[in-house]
């Protein structure tokens, strides 16, 4: 149903205005109240259910609160009845039955108040109409605030808003104070003087946060009171934290200060040191994520769970980055897996830069050996279990030569690693630890004519070894192709880097990736500008390449065979047909 309707006692065939309303009630009301009454009368007959109080406010070019107040005015006269506030519903009553009157405002007692109010308003070029006087006096009648206290509110709002001030703004400010039990002159003066006393402090915080267009409101002062009185921060400490946040909000600063208070960091130097440390850890976390191939949106959980603990262990930043790279190479590319490696190192007392470097050297040697085994045996999945076998074989006192010999003898099997393990374990049992001690194949005999004669011992080459040799030849062929492609790309890159601006752009774009990653978490409002800046850098970079007659693809190795990418093998593990064996 529409929010304005007739009672059943009104003949709603026509929209009529009773003469009694015009002669008795209309002169008592201001223009807006009359417009609201007449338009509501019209709506009783002509509106649908979708037309509400907000729609009326739009039509009459006012706000919803003014509409509600106007109907409350007519309800005092018994001309309407407000049936509900939400949704706002009004019923029109017969004018002939109206007997009520609005609360009588004792205008005579507000003479001094009105003079002072008009004087304050005139300072900013505002003049109060008779209807506005009524609104101010009705507010004081209906609320418990002292007139002199209310005048303090008026002056405060005028200082903030100037000539753009409105009664609604003043009433809202006064109502907030009333809700907090502040109604006397002394109470309001103390509260507002507190706002004024700390206005400069709050504005300084806004500047540190780059909130240059903000005007302090009650919420900002409430937060400031919490930080100084409840949490115990001094202004210099708050500013130190705000400057570290740089482009943030009062709410993000509030979360930071709560964290600092929880950690007992209240002194400005302690705050600076703590937040600088967190910033360092955040940057390190992003870098570790990039090394591991993990995209990080919010570094805080990773810092709390992993990075801060690793830092406290005593690991240096470069050591952690190198460990992350090792984890990526060994398919342990997540923070949980890296944590297992770091904890194991710490448990074994390997923390210093030199100790980690020695550990990594050993692991990289294992990786090189594993690559050679892969070349001999084909595609072997790189896993922690497989790599651990290398360590075991080394502990059995086998050198790389013996391990590779076992790989060559296992290449034709469907699962080379277990077969290698069998061979090496048998050699260990027989105490064979050098290639020269491996038993050779027995001599062969051949028959000629009617007799049999023994021939000199021939070197026996097993099919497995022949397969390995063929495979090595194939690997060399593709390695040469890749080397030529890389040399070509290096040549073009050197030519491009000879241009100093191109070189600088490449470095700047590299840094931009970290900047973008950090902005996603700390400064999302800056992302559009940063993306635009990146696009401009890429465009300038392309312009330089065009002037040098270099394509972007020229800077990267381009394989001759697009099917196998010059590796010799398809994705399913089968040999590629592009191999050209030299006869």
Residue 568: strand, helix, or coil: coil
Burial of 314 (0-12, 13-18, 19+ CB in 10 A): exposed
pLDDT category, 108, cuts 50, 70, 90?
low
| Residues 87, 24 share a domain | yes
Residue 352 lies in a domain: yes
Q: What are phi and psi of 249, to 5 degrees?
A: -130, 170
pLDDT at 1 over 90: no
Dump pLDDT digits (tens) for 251-306. Answer: 888 888 988 898 898 999 999 998 888 888 888 999 999 888 888 888 888 998 99
Distance CA 476, CA 524 (A): 50
Does residue 308 share a domain with residue 284?
A: yes
72 and 51, same structural domain? Answer: yes
List all residues 6 or more positions away from 47 whose beta carbon is below 8 Å from its beta carbon: 2, 3, 4
Same domain flag for 429 and 476: no
Q: Residue 339 falls within a domain, yes or no?
A: yes
Do 430 and 283 have their domain in common?
yes
Please state the rounded mean pLDDT for residues 163-170. Answer: 83
Tabulate helix, strand, coil % of the chain (nearest 5). Answer: 65, 5, 30
In a domain, 573, yes or no: no
Nearest one of 382, 358, 362, 353 to 370, comparing CA atoms: 382
Q: What is the band of 307 on the pLDDT scale with cuts at 50, 70, 90?
A: very high
Q: Does the structure show a pLDDT above 90 at 339?
A: yes
The per-residue DSSP string of 110-132 comes to GHHHHHHHHHHHHTTT----HHH
Q: Could you tell me if residue 457 is inside a domain?
A: no
Together in a domain, 154 and 171: yes
Q: How many domains does the chain have?
A: 5
511: closest CA among 241, 287, 251, 260?
287
pLDDT at 335: 92
On whether both 141 and 228 belong to a single domain, the answer is no
Same domain, 176 and 200: no
Same-domain pairing of 216 and 81: no
Q: How confident is the model at residue 247 (pLDDT cuts 50, 70, 90)?
A: low
Q: In the predicted model, is pLDDT for residue 33 greater than 70?
A: yes
- pLDDT tens readout for residues 556-577: 889 988 888 888 888 777 888 8
Q: Kindly state whether residues 112 and 93 are assigned to the same domain.
A: no
Last residue of a domain, one of 154, 183, 212: 183
pLDDT, mean over the chain: 81
Instruction: Give a yes or no: residue 544 inside a domain.
Output: yes
Please name which of 193, 251, 256 lies closest in space to residue 223, comparing C-alpha atoms.
Answer: 251
How much of the chain, in percent, has pLDDT values that exceed 70? 87
Same domain assignment for residues 384 and 323: yes
What percent of the chain has a predicted confidence (pLDDT) above 90?
9
Residue 271 counted as domain residue: no
Q: Does residue 567 lie in a domain region? A: no
Domain residue limits at 243: 192-266
Q: How many CA atoms lie within 13 A of 232 on its CB side?
A: 9
Instruction: State whether 137 and 204 are in the same domain.
Output: no
Q: Domain for residue 474, yes or no?
A: yes
Q: What is the pLDDT of residues 137-166, one digit of tens each?
A: 888 887 888 888 899 888 888 877 777 888
The model's pLDDT over 174-216, given as tens digits with 9 standing for 90+, comes to 888 888 888 898 888 888 777 766 777 888 888 888 887 777 7
Residue at a domain's end among 97, 127, 155: 97
């Amino acid at each position: 149903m529409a929010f304005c309707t007739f009672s059943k006692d009104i003949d709603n065939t026509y929209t009529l205005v009773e003469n009694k309303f015009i002669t008795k009630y209309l002169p008592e009301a201001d223009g807006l109240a009359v417009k609201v009454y007449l338009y509501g009368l019209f709506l009783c007959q002509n509106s649908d259910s979708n037309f509400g109080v907000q729609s009326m406010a739009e039509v009459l070019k006012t706000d919803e609160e003014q509409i509600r107040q106007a109907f409350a005015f007519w309800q005092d006269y018994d001309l309407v009845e407000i049936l509900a506030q939400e949704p706002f519903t009004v019923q029109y009553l017969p004018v002939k039955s109206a007997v009520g009157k609005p609360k009588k405002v004792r205008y005579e007692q507000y003479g001094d108040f009105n003079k002072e109010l008009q004087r304050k308003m005139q300072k900013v070029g505002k003049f109060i109409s008779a209807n506005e006087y009524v609104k101010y006096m009705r507010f004081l009648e209906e609320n418990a605030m002292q007139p002199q206290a209310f005048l303090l509110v008026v002056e405060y709002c005028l200082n903030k808003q100037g000539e753009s001030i409105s009664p609604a703004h003043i009433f809202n400010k006064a109502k907030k104070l009333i809700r907090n039990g502040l109604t006397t002159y002394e109470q309001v003066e103390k509260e507002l003087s507190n706002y004024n006393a700390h206005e400069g402090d709050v504005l300084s915080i806004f500047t540190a946060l780059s909130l240059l267009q903000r005007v302090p409101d009650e919420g900002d002062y409430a937060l400031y009171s919490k930080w100084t009185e409840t949490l115990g921060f001094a202004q210099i400490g708050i500013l130190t934290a705000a400057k570290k946040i740089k482009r943030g909000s009062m709410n993000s600063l509030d979360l930071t200060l709560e964290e600092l208070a929880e950690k007992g960091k209240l002194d400005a130097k302690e705050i600076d040191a703590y937040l600088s440390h967190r910033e360092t850890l955040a940057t390190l976390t992003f870098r570790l994520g990039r090394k591991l191939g993990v995209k990080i949106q919010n570094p805080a959980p990773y810092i709390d769970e992993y990075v801060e603990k690793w830092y406290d262990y005593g690991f240096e930043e470069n050591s952690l980055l190198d460990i992350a790279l090792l984890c990526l190479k060994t398919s342990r590319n997540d923070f949980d897996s890296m944590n297992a490696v770091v904890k194991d190192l710490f448990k074994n007392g390997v923390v210093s830069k030199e100790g980690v470097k020695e550990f990594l050297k050993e692991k990289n040697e294992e990786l090189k050996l594993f690559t050679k085994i892969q070349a001999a045996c084909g595609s072997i999945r790189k896993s922690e279990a497989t790599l651990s076998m290398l360590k075991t074989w080394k502990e059995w006192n086998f050198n790389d030569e013996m391990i590779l010999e076992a790989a060559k003898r296992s290449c034709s099997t469907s699962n080379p690693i277990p077969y290698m393990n069998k061979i090496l374990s048998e050699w260990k049992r027989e105490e064979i630890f050098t290639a020269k001690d491996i038993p050779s194949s027995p001599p062969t005999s051949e028959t000629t004519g009617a007799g049999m004669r023994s021939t000199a011992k021939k070197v026996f080459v097993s099919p497995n070894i022949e397969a390995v040799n063929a495979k090595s030849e194939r690997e060399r062929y593709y390695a040469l192709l890749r080397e030529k492609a890389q040399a070509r790309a290096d040549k073009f890159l050197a030519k491009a880097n000879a241009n100093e601006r191109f070189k600088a752009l490449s470095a700047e774009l590299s840094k931009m990736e970290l900047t973008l990653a950090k902005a996603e978490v700390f400064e999302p409002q800056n992302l559009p500008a940063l993306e635009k800046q990146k696009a401009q850098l890429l465009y300038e970079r392309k312009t330089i390449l065009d002037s040098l007659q270099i394509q972007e693809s020229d800077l990267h190795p381009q394989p001759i065979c697009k099917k196998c990418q010059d590796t010799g093998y398809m994705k399913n593990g089968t040999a590629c047909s592009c191999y050209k064996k030299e006869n």
